[in-house]
Amino acid sequence: MCFIIIISFGTCVHSLAQVLYDFTAEPGNNELTVQEGEILTLVFQSIILLLSVMVILCHMAVGSVYSFDEEWDDDSDDGKSTGGYGGSQADEGGTMQRGGAHSTMKLSLNKFPGFSKTPNPEVYLLTKHISKGDDRLPIYTGEVGPVWLYPQIQLDCVVADPKKGSKMYGLKSYIEYQITPNTTNRPVNHRYKHFDWLYERLVEKFACALPIPCLPDKQVTGRFEEEFIKMRMERLQGWMSRMCRHPVISNSDVFQLFLNYRDEKEWKLGKRKAEKDEIVGVKIFSNIDPELPEEQKYEMYSQFTRSMDNSVKELLTVGHLHWKRCTGPLQKEYRQIGKAFQNLSSVFNTSAYPREYTLTEALTATGKTYEEIINFVSQPKKDLHFLMETTHEYKGLLGCFPDTIAVHKAAIDKVKEADHLVVMNKISQQDKLIMEKNLSTMSYALQAEMNHFHSNRIYDYNRLVQFYLEEQVKFYETIAEKLKKALGQYTTM
Amino acid sequence: MCFIIIISFGTCVHSLAQVLYDFTAEPGNNELTVQEGEILTLVFQSIILLLSVMVILCHMAVGSVYSFDEEWDDDSDDGKSTGGYGGSQADEGGTMQRGGAHSTMKLSLNKFPGFSKTPNPEVYLLTKHISKGDDRLPIYTGEVGPVWLYPQIQLDCVVADPKKGSKMYGLKSYIEYQITPNTTNRPVNHRYKHFDWLYERLVEKFACALPIPCLPDKQVTGRFEEEFIKMRMERLQGWMSRMCRHPVISNSDVFQLFLNYRDEKEWKLGKRKAEKDEIVGVKIFSNIDPELPEEQKYEMYSQFTRSMDNSVKELLTVGHLHWKRCTGPLQKEYRQIGKAFQNLSSVFNTSAYPREYTLTEALTATGKTYEEIINFVSQPKKDLHFLMETTHEYKGLLGCFPDTIAVHKAAIDKVKEADHLVVMNKISQQDKLIMEKNLSTMSYALQAEMNHFHSNRIYDYNRLVQFYLEEQVKFYETIAEKLKKALGQYTTM
């Protein structure tokens, strides 16, 4: 990663840039080592309008001439790396927040104004909407209240087979993942930056109504390492599965495009169309078609998601400590116990006393058993993994709720003003009724979303904790069994 | 405990003493708070010859007048306390060493010159012995080599029922234990200081031939606390059982007196007789009646006991760490896990979503299970206890071997000089033969003792590790069972 300030600029294809910070290239990543103050010539493949002072993030090609990919390779705008549930990282969660929490670059790339300021719902509230056939987002009143319309067959996909690809005559390397949806069973390939593009479209389009969880962390160094690729794939799988499970997202044009495009042309056309989509931000509510007016429950939701956020963070912290202990001191301790028994056995063996063969053999077996157990005490790593990964996902998801709920709060405040605005002749009585109807629609959508969240949460934690306990039971049973076997070697005197 | 230097002294019943260090009395122990420099008047119940400058340890009675028990209450000559397997304590083992390692008082009370200097075996080596009937210590050549004569029924005793007693009109308190031998089934009472007296007699009489393990640590403060009394009783039991298992010790007059005296008179007479016993130190070998001459194996024994000493210390260190973890961080961790699951359940409970009763109940049960497990993770404390206590005993016993072996080494060196002494006409050829025969007897005794040690060690570690593993198996099985029960509360979706 390298921050450069462009000090000479224009609509030409060449620009001069001064390096702001030293940067040491990572071998094999087609990066270049540069030093503070150095003046570089940038060559752009297409003409880009450069703003007067713009902080850019770039990958560098060899030599002092820099090639920019037409599509930014923004798989490098984040200095963080994740390799587990690191203490502080588990608490920061910065990368799980959307747009606004990222770099400025990210924001300027977003057409959507971002959630650092709550989108103004006024533009939606004052318009009378008749939702059109295809775009309509139906909500039904189910047993638990408003619910989205769920498809008969739930979409799902498999993210697999990460492959290293390259372009620019090998100057740029990247990892491409294969995504196979259960509907077509036909794989498509995507790089991380495509996922990121999809994420941005989903935020733009849906984030006023639906919390869109962040993608797994970006990474600069070591992103071609096997361990990292495996972890990223697993987390992309988690993210995609969650998106597939959402009836509104999974049914959206942009998501369908991502999973089903047939060739490069279809992908590029679809991308352009998606980027031009105008039903974004608060306008999404105009597609919602409620059955009944609905009371406001956002305060309860706000309270619930905040509490769950805390609870989930506690679980992550505790899980992290447990993980650390199981893989560190506990292993060491069992190794020491194993060694102590084996040493005692060795000493006993030197006694030249004729009657202790059984005991020394048994002591050695005991020592070895404890050494075998070492492999099992790292078990929580395996058991906990699933619980931790999904809880981490929930942490990200819960971090999106305050923004989604803030849109509702803003709408409610606007409607509260309505009486006053009527008196002031700023809006008509008719406008006020439309506003109230529209607010009810927003509330209806929030409840549908909340019910979606609840049913997912119940499903997830039920299977998560079940799996965890199953593995834990196996773990303790295996240790008991092994020790019982060692015990069998002793004679009863 | 208070160190006082007697600066005015004599054979009178009153003495002045100057306090050397500040001392704060422990309430209820009949102690007195004194300050450095204070002059005190000591009143002795009997006339005691006071040495010119003598450091004494004393318990103080109320007021500025101090009453001395006729029999010193030397249950207070040690500043150490033991409450578990404290790191440093486990490594020091100072109190497990005999005589010499204690205070000067202890040494001056011992008639036996102590082991700080190896007793000179010359006095024994040069005398022709015919062992007398009753005192004879027979050794047989058994399957494993020389062995002591073991009794048909093994002596054992139960140390129980500690009771607080007092004398001097309540001015002095002490704890009395009841000891019941399996031979008479008639209990006798003894205070700690009586055990200490017995220990000193055994060291005097046998320590050249048999390693006499130290008594459990002495204690000054808190020695009337229940926990301490229980632990001391347990350790006295361990010590007594080990003494009972030794065929030579258990059959000795002084040990029989300790267990079987019928009244105060018999006890006092027996005590006086034991204190006057002249067959002490190296003379004990004169009672040994070997069947066959025996080769020297002391080097092998020395090597073995040193190795085992190291191994046993390692086991104690490892066990101590394990103990500490099980009772500390592990309990905390399981409590946190339990709390995290219960908190998640509480949050889920507030959702007002109708379909999660089963899940929240199951999560609560899971949390409670982990809290229940807390009581079990402290299990090693129970399991390890036995292993640690006995290993601690072995550490003490092994610490005595170097002294016992040193006596043999000294005898061997003397016999090596014999040829030279014959040439110099210092001893006769006959003397030399006597020396060689006597050395052979010593070696025979050492081997009998070593074989006794080996058979005990095999018996002890076989049952110790067996018990430990049994308890560990139960421990892991119980946890598995409990988690399985919690798992049963989840529904399969």
Check A477 against B473: CB less than 8 A apart. no
Mean pLDDT of A484-491: 91
Does residue A374 carry a pLDDT above 60?
A: yes
pLDDT given at position A277: 92
- Could you tell me the end-to-end alpha-carbon distance of chain A, in angstroms, rounded to an integer? 70
Please check whether residue B219 is in contact with residue B78, taking contact to mean a CB–CB distance below 8 angstroms: yes
> Chain B residue closest to A359 (CA)?
B462
Q: Beta partners for B147?
A: B140
CA distance B231 to B241: 15
Residues in A touching B469 (Cβ below 8 Å) = 366, 483-484, 486-487, 490
CA distance B5 to B18: 6
| B210 contacts: CB under 8 Å, gap ≥ 6 | B246, B248, B249, B404, B449
Range with the poorest average pLDDT among A12-16, B48-52, B204-208, B243-247: B48-52
**Interhelix angle for B298-327 vs B329-349, to 10°?**
20
- Among partner residues B303, B330, B490, which is closest to A462 by beta-carbon distance? B490
Q: Are residues A462 and B491, on separate chains, in Cβ contact within 8 Å?
A: yes
Task: Among B325, B337, B344, select the one facing A322 at the smallest CB separation.
Answer: B337
The span from the CA of A121 to the CA of A286, in Å, is 11
Binary contact (B325, A337; C-beta < 8 A): no
Percent of chain B with pLDDT over 90: 35
Mean pLDDT of all residues in A438-466 = 90
**Is the model's pLDDT at A311 over the cut of 60?**
yes
**Look-up: residue for tokens 């942490």?**
A395
Provide the shortest C-alpha distance from residue A403 to chain B (in Å): 19
What would the pLDDT profile of B416-453 be if each residue is shown by its tens digit?
A: 898 899 999 988 999 998 888 888 888 888 989 999 99
With bands split at pLDDT 50, 70 and 90, how would you rate the model's confidence at A228?
confident
Q: Where are the alpha helices (DSSP H) in B149-288?
A: 192-206, 226-245, 247-250, 253-260, 264-276
Going by pLDDT thresholds of 50, 70 and 90, the confidence category of residue A138 is confident
- pLDDT of A484 > 90? The answer is yes
H helix runs in B72-207, sequence order: 87-92, 104-109, 122-125, 192-206
Please check the confidence at residue B5 and state whether its pLDDT lies above 70. no
Quote the mean pLDDT of chain A.
Answer: 77
Q: pLDDT, tens digit, for every residue of A251-290?
A: 999 999 999 999 999 999 999 999 999 888 888 888 887 7
Confidence class for position B11, pLDDT limits 50, 70, 90: very low
Q: How confident is the model at residue A76 (pLDDT cuts 50, 70, 90)?
A: very low
**Closest of B32, B48, B49, B30 to residue B40, by C-alpha:** B32
**Chain A interface, mutation test: which of B302, B342, B353, B357, most A Cβ atoms within 10 Å?**
B353
pLDDT value, residue B219? 60
Distances (CA, A) of B439 to B212, B227, B415: 21, 48, 8
Higher pLDDT: A41 or A148? It is: A148
Sheet containing strand B137-142, edge to edge, reads: B145-148, B137-142, B288-289
Is A457's CB within 8 Å of B348's CB?
yes
| Predicted pLDDT at A317 | 92
* pLDDT tens-digit map of B324-335: 887 778 888 889
Q: What percent of chain A has pLDDT over 70?
A: 72
Question: Which span out of A311-320, B75-84, B257-266, B345-354 was modeled with the highest average pLDDT?
Answer: B257-266
Number of cross-chain residue pairs from A and B with Cβ atoms under 8 Å apart: 183
Nearest to A493 among B363, B454, B459 (CB): B459
**What pLDDT score was predicted for residue A115?**
45
Give the pLDDT mean for A42-50: 37
HSE at residue A487, side-chain half, CA atoms within 13 A, is 17
**Token pair 């962040």: residue:** A214
Q: Convert A382-438 into a string of H (helix), E (strand) and C (coil).
A: HHHHHHHHHHHHHHHHHHHHHHHHHHHHHHHHHHHHHHHHHHCCCCCHHHHHHHHHH
Residue A106 has pLDDT above 60, yes or no: no
What is the ipTM metric for this complex?
Answer: 0.72
pLDDT exceeds 50 at position A8: no
B92: its two tokens = 């020091």
- B340/A300 Cβ within 8 A: no
Residue B195 is encoded by which pair of tokens? 């055990």
Smallest Cβ distance to B300: which of A307, A352, A362?
Answer: A352
pLDDT band at A40 (very low <50, low <70, confident <90, very high): low
How sure is the predictor about A220, in pLDDT bands with cuts at 50, 70 and 90? low
A138: β partners = A289
Average of pLDDT values for B57-78?
37
The CATH code belonging to domain A3-67 is 2.30.30
Q: What is the mean pLDDT of residues B147-160?
A: 93
pLDDT at B79 over 90: no
Question: Is the pLDDT score of A98 beyond 80?
Answer: no
The amino acid at B81: S
The predicted structure's pLDDT at residue B340: 93
What length is written for chain A? 493
Tokens 């099980």: give the residue.
B326
CB contact (8 A) between residue A340 and residue B479: no
Cβ pair B348, B360 in contact under 8 A: yes
Shortest alpha-carbon distance between residue A320 and chain B (Å): 11
Q: Do residues B69 and B167 touch, judged by C-beta distance below 8 A?
A: yes
The rounded distance, in Å, linking the Cα atoms of A349 and B316 is 20
Our measurement of the distance from residue B234's CA atom to the centroid of its chain's CA atoms, rounded to an integer in Å, reads: 10
> How many beta carbons lie within 10 A of that of residue B323, not counting itself?
19
Give the DSSP H or E segment for B444.
helix B429-487
Lowest mean pLDDT among A7-11, A366-370, B408-412: A7-11
Using an 8 Å CB-CB cutoff, list chain A residues near B484: 469, 473
**Top-ranked range on mean pLDDT: pick from A167-171, A258-262, B73-77, B428-432:** A258-262
Higher pLDDT residue, A20 or B351? B351
Residues 6 or more apart whose CB falls under 8 angstroms from that of A386 comprise: A464, A467, A468
A487/B466 Cβ within 8 A:
yes
Which pLDDT value is given to residue B344?
92
What residues in A contact B347, CB-CB < 8 Å? 304, 307-308, 310-311
The two three-digit tokens of residue A389, written as one number: 């990964």
Determine what percent of chain B is predicted with pLDDT higher than 70: 72
CA distance A300 to A443: 12
Domain ranges for chain B: 3-67
Q: Which pLDDT value is given to residue A12?
A: 36
Q: Which residue of A has its CA nearest to B326?
A: A330
